Chains A and B, each alone.
Chain A
Amino acid sequence: MVLTGAEILIRCLQEEKVEFVFGYPGGSVLYIYDEMFKQDKFKHVLVRHEQAAVHAADAYSRSSQKIGVCLVTSGPGVTNAVTGIATAYMDSIPLVVITGQVPTAYIGQDAFQECDTVGITRPCVKHNFLVKDVKDLATTIKKAFYLAKTGRPGPVLVDIPKDVTNHKCEFSYPKSVTMRSYNPVTKGHTGQIKKAVQLLLEAKRPMIYAGGGVILSDAAELLKKLVKALGFPITNTLMGLGGYPGTDPQFLGMLGMHGTVEANMAMQHCDVLLAIGARFDDRVIGSPDHFAEQPRKIIHIDIDPSSISKRVKVDVPIVGGVSEVLEDLMKQLELAEAKPDAKALADWWQQIAEWRAKDCLKYKQGSKLIMPQFVIQKLYEVTGGNAFVSSDVGQHQMWAAQYYKFDKPRRWINSGGLGTMGFGLPAAMGVHFANPKATVACVTGEASIQMCIQELSTCKQYRLPIKIINLNNRYLGMVRQWQEMFHGNRYAESYIDALPDFVKLAEAYGHVGMQITKPEDVEPALRRAFTEHKNDLVFMDFITDQTANVFPMVAAGKGLSQMILAEDL
């Protein structure tokens, strides 16, 4: 069948069972929009800024394990999308980003709305393509979906010049792709897995450290089985939260810069460390030199060989998909005659109990000012721990991570790698499209929310009943915290003056606004929002204690055991 490039693209997306395309039109993509208009197999979601299109597609993927798809125009459409693409890239989220380009004959002529899309996005995509001939379009789209999801996932961009979308050729969608240059390993090396099992069974002070790879690989159930079989303590990274049940007694909480005492100390003092789908990020282990001061054997499971021994040398590398490797590891464990050393484990748990007794996340909720931690705790109670929670970046993000206990994967949606303010609201939209019946909350700050506030309009158009939990401290709180702790209380440009009246702002966009100023109103207001206003978007502006800081804290460049606790100050 002979079709135009635009028709081919639409057919490809249908073949890939795409449900939603998040996008924003413009000159170079008009043929595509025209063809989309004529079909109803998938829906288009019109955002208000291209950054939001990418964040929404990204969160759609994070919360559903499907591939997110977005479509933007050339030039400014692309440059606006770059923040979103880089955000997805840092967190290994599978996306297909389709961008319009000026007609092939105009490329390189500084044409209207031309930019070197492939060049600009090259460092923040898993791969990108410029399609110069309509005959290559269908295979390129097939490759894009294949690359996005396999191996270490990531965003793949396809740049399509306008004339290509209007040229015709015979269409047939390839059934499969093979690329001689791309063959990701998914199955772990049996010999290495045996070595790992042996090390785990000999461990006296074992520790499991699991990251976002567990979630990306849909391995939460397997991980739980393994941890239960071993009886070992486990921690999650910021990206891994929900990969292991947050309320389970073997869970030590999140580790890292704002990790719990028990997680960080166990990480530092273990003798065998099993790292699963995690990458020893600087915010997670702090200084590699300090980390190396306590020698331990490290087993590292990761799909990406370049993540292994990048920041920390490991003893038993296992390259493979987390779920494939964990499955084999479980089998080997069942075959092994030895059992974990019960006596040593009991002593180790005893030590952990002492660290736990510090109760490092305690805080005091007085009668006057609302503590931000209290809001999250109440949010957790009111939603029964079952909400999807997206967040922006700053103190509120850390409190959400610390105080909302995620028992299930894909519920905690945040920009961990790039730390993108503005992510929260569009992400909540994407979550809603993937999970239309779910409860969706967006935990944000008065600064972050303003970075994509225009999406309140998108939320109105599509009737997205998101609950925005704005922890309003009138400061770039995380910046203020660093200035207080490391820059002699000089609050350079971290006070947010001239804030809008968020209640009126929400109302202006056609939503419900609430301002909550007293501790005793926190819970009732949340209950009202989640019951009475179940079907409305509610902007909840919580006026919180401006001086609250996130603890524990490991200062940048320090080691995991060098934590500053709330009680130290």
Chain B
Amino acid sequence: MRHIISILLENEAGALSRVSGLFSARAFNIESLTVAPTEDPSLSRMTIVSVGSDDVIEQITKQLNKLIEVVKVVDLSEAAHIERELMLVKVRATGKDREEMKRIADIFRGRIIDVTESTYVIELTGNNAKLDAFLDAIDRTLILETVRTGVCGIGRGDRILKV
């Protein structure tokens, strides 16, 4: 099963490599990893998407908790949560493709944030599936480049991850 693990950790040099090193040393899977400081600059918030059986995910959370710099760990997918990912896609946009590209971007609530004579950069946020669907909807041969941030997530309502 796919799980979204949220981690609050000390914003210290090396903390990221402790987490990524743990995943490779113990052969845990990482689909994506995002990290940035929080409103309290001494803390970072990390979101890891991993696929594994319940036993494996249990080990992952326990092993993460064991890292000295990790303050808190939650498996967001255990309860109601929201996940988002940001994608930037550079596409070839010439002739009649320009109109078509704009139309599809609108349908997906994407925004064109850079325009040249022959290209667009489209910004899109959503969950994984939505971003994948957008890529499927446009003509693949027109894609020049895609960049995705990886998933970040947050619990709904009163579920709060804080020190």
Residues of A within 8 A of B (CB): 118-119, 122-123, 126-127, 130, 147, 179-182, 304-306, 309-310, 313
With A122-B17, A123-B21, A309-B55 already in contact, the answer to whether A181 and B62 are too (CB < 8 A) is no
Asked if A306 and B59 make an inter-chain contact with CB atoms under 8 angstroms apart, the answer reads: yes
List of A residues within 8 angstroms of B163 by Cβ: 180
User: B77 in the interface, Cβ–Cβ < 8 Å?
Assistant: no
User: Contacts A118-B14, A119-B17: A180 and B71 contacting too (C-beta < 8 A)?
Assistant: yes
Q: What is the interface of chain B, defined by CB distance below 8 A to chain A?
A: 9-10, 13-14, 17-18, 21, 25, 55, 58-59, 62-63, 65-66, 68-71, 163
B66 touches A304 (CB 8 A): yes
Q: Taking the nearest CB of chain B, how far is it from the CB of A102, in angstroms? A: 17
A130: chain B residues within 8 A (beta carbon): 13-14
A-B contact pairs, 28 of them (CB 8 A): A118-B14, A119-B17, A122-B14, A122-B17, A122-B18, A122-B21, A123-B21, A123-B25, A126-B68, A127-B68, A130-B13, A130-B14, A147-B68, A180-B71, A181-B9, A181-B10, A181-B71, A182-B68, A304-B66, A305-B65, A305-B66, A306-B59, A306-B62, A306-B63, A306-B66, A309-B58, A310-B59, A313-B55
Nearest CB in chain B: distance from A25 CB, A: 27
Residues of B near A182 (CB, < 8 A) are 68
**Within 8 Å CB of B13, what residues of A?**
130
**B9 surroundings in chain A (CB, below 8 A):** 181
Whether the pair A179, B68 counts as a contact (CB closer than 8 A) is yes
Classify the interface of chain B: helix, strand, loop or mixed.
Answer: helix
List, in ascending order, chain A residues with CB within 8 A of B14's CB.
Answer: 118, 122, 130
Chain A residue with Cβ nearest B62:
A306
CB nearest neighbor in B for A122? B21
The interface residues of chain A lying within 8 Å CB-to-CB of B55 are: 309, 313
Task: List, in ascending order, chain B residues with CB within 8 A of A118's CB.
Answer: 14
A313: nearest chain-B partner, CB-CB:
B55
Give the interface centre of A119, A126, A181, A305 by most chain B CB atoms within 10 Å.
A181
Given contacts A126-B68, A181-B71, 7 further A-B contacts (CB under 8 A): A122-B21, A123-B21, A180-B71, A181-B9, A181-B10, A306-B63, A306-B65
Closest 3 CB pairs between A and B?
A306-B62, A181-B71, A127-B68
> Closest residue to A184 on the B side, CB-wise?
B66
Closest Cβ neighbor of B24 among chain A residues: A123
Contacts of A313 in B (CB 8 A): 55
Shortest C-beta distance, A311 to chain B (Å), equals 10
Min CB distance B121 to A, Å, is 34
Inter-chain CA distance A180–B9, complex, in Å, is 10
Q: Smallest CB-CB separation from A151: which chain B residue?
A: B66
Query: CA of A130 to CA of B14 in the docked complex: distance in angstroms?
Result: 10
A313 to B68, CA, bound (A): 26
Bound Cα distance A179, B14 (Å): 17
Residues of B within 8 A of A123 (CB): 21, 25
Compute how far the CA of A179 lies from the CA of B12 in the bound complex, rounded to whole angstroms. Answer: 13
The residue in B9, B21, B65, B66 that gathers the most chain A C-beta atoms within 10 A of its C-beta is B66
Contact between chains at B69 and A181 (CB < 8 Å): yes
Say which residue of B17, B21, B58, B68 sits within 8 Å of A181 (CB atoms): B68
* CA of A309 to CA of B57, assembled, Å: 12
Q: Least Cβ distance of B138 to chain A in Å?
A: 42
* Distance A1 CA – B18 CA, assembled complex (angstroms): 36
Contacts of B63 in A (CB 8 A): 306
Alpha-carbon gap, A60 to B96, bound state (A): 78
**A180: which B residues are within 8 A, CB to CB?**
71, 163
Closest to A132 in B: B13
Distance between Cα atoms of A180 and B163 in the complex (Å): 8
Inter-chain contacts of B70 with A (CB < 8 A): 181
Min distance, Cβ A133 to any Cβ of chain B, angstroms: 12
Q: Provide the bound-state CA to CA distance between A180 and B68, in Å.
A: 10
Q: Within the assembled complex, what's the spacing in Å between the Cα atoms of A175 and B57?
A: 38
In the complex, what residues of B have CB within 8 A of residue A179's CB? Answer: 68
Chain A residue with Cβ nearest B8: A181
